[in-house]
Structure 1
Amino acid sequence: MSTRPETMDFLLDQIAALPHVRTRRMFGEYCVYLDDKPTAFVCDGQLFVKITGAGRALLPNPRYGRPYPGAKDYFLLRPDEWEDRPALCELLATTSRALPPAKPRKRAAERRPRQ
């Protein structure tokens, strides 16, 4: 089951206070980027936030899940847990700050193998 656009609209409204947020649709699901860092996934209408020590400090009883088969564990937040806008924004912002800087993207000419 893929995530409905209405679900993404609600999430983006909840985190609208955060700067530099973008999403990218992937296989019917979504990746949430903060400051060009992949910070979370939205799969099957649930939010999967990357695990960091800083994020763990904000979640007293975290629940874990995997956004897709073969993935590592992530913090799992169901849509009913998205209601607390300040807490949600704080978790995502804190997680993004704890992640390493985004790697610069290579230009197409640099990605092609030499012949």
Structure 2
Amino acid sequence: MNKWIAKILQEREKQITKNGYMPEHDDEHTDGSIADAAAHYASHTKSELYPWDKQYNSKEKHSRIEQLVIAGALIVAELERLERANINVDFSQHKSSFGKTADGMIQA
């Protein structure tokens, strides 16, 4: 597995297990805010895309690489949320090495 994919998946696991952002929590964000947060962390410039209370915005305390890993993990969270909601997620025709774990999480 590519080391960056592994780091993104590790960050996603941390978001769930350490920070408590369980799938049920993510499912409440039907407004696209998880994707907005990912765009915020991915942006190289100062971004106003952060969708939640600014006190939780930790972008500035992370290195550029850490910001991109967090952005990747947030994208995974949004993909998982969309998949659980059955919204336009059909990987059956997409040739990819991605699969799912027993608990429904996307894995490389």
Provide the TM-score with structure 2 as the length reference.
0.30
Higher relative contact order (CA 8 A, sep 6+): 2
Provide the TM-score with structure 1 as the length reference.
0.28
| Structure number with higher strand proportion | 1
| Structure number with higher helix proportion | 2
